[in-house]
């Protein structure tokens, strides 16, 4: 099954210039997978920054949050970090799941 994907003309032109029109169709999957891997790396780096800042994993921080053991829990910075961190963890999990499905890891 195939799906049509619309992309900006400038992006298309740059891709055609880089790969050639004939080769582009074969490269699209690789380009999209590479973009997903790049996003995963960005999420991981941002998560690591928060882990270093607070000295714990998100799971531990979330437990501390729920138990009201986080200093200045409702301060702008801490609360913002918690929401960002939670979103990053969800995005990372979803991206990993998508990559596993796309790469066929775990197929029986």
CA 24 to chain centre: 25
Cα separations in angstroms, 98 against 40, 59, 89, 105: 11, 22, 14, 10
How many domains does the chain contain in total? 1
- Residue 19 in any domain: the answer is no
Phi/psi for 3 (5° steps) reads -130, 140
Confidence of residue 103 (pLDDT cuts 50, 70, 90): confident
pTM: predicted TM-score of the whole model, two decimal places: 0.81
Task: Identify the pLDDT of residue 22.
Answer: 87
Confidence of residue 108 (pLDDT cuts 50, 70, 90): very low
Domain holding 51, by residue range, is: 29-103
Q: What is the residue-wise DSSP string for 26-64?
A: HHHHHHHHHHHHHHHHHHHHHHHHHHHHHTS-HHHHHHH
DSSP 70: S
- Residue 6 in any domain: the answer is no
Q: Other CB atoms closer than 10 Å to residue 48's CB: what's the count?
A: 10
- Residue 17 in any domain: the answer is no
Task: Identify the pLDDT of residue 46.
Answer: 98
- Residue 35 in any domain: the answer is yes
- Residue 3 in any domain: the answer is no
Average pLDDT over every residue of 72-91:
97
- Residue 76 in any domain: the answer is yes
- Residue 34 in any domain: the answer is yes
Half-sphere exposure of 82 (CA within 13 A, CB side): 19
Interval 22-76: pLDDT, tens: 898 888 888 889 999 999 999 999 999 999 999 999 999 999 999 999 999 999 9
- Residue 95 in any domain: the answer is yes
């Amino acid at each position: 099954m195939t799906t049509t994907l619309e992309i900006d003309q400038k992006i298309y032109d740059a891709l055609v210039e880089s790969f050639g029109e004939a080769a582009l169709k074969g490269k699209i999957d690789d380009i999209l997978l590479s973009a997903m891997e790049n996003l995963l790396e960005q999420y991981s780096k941002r998560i690591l920054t928060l882990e270093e800042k607070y000295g714990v994993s998100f799971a531990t921080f979330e437990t501390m949050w729920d138990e009201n053991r986080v200093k200045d829990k409702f301060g702008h910075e801490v609360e913002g970090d918690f929401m960002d961190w939670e979103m990053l963890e969800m995005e990372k999990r979803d991206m990993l799941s998508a990559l596993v499905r796309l790469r066929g890891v775990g197929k029986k």
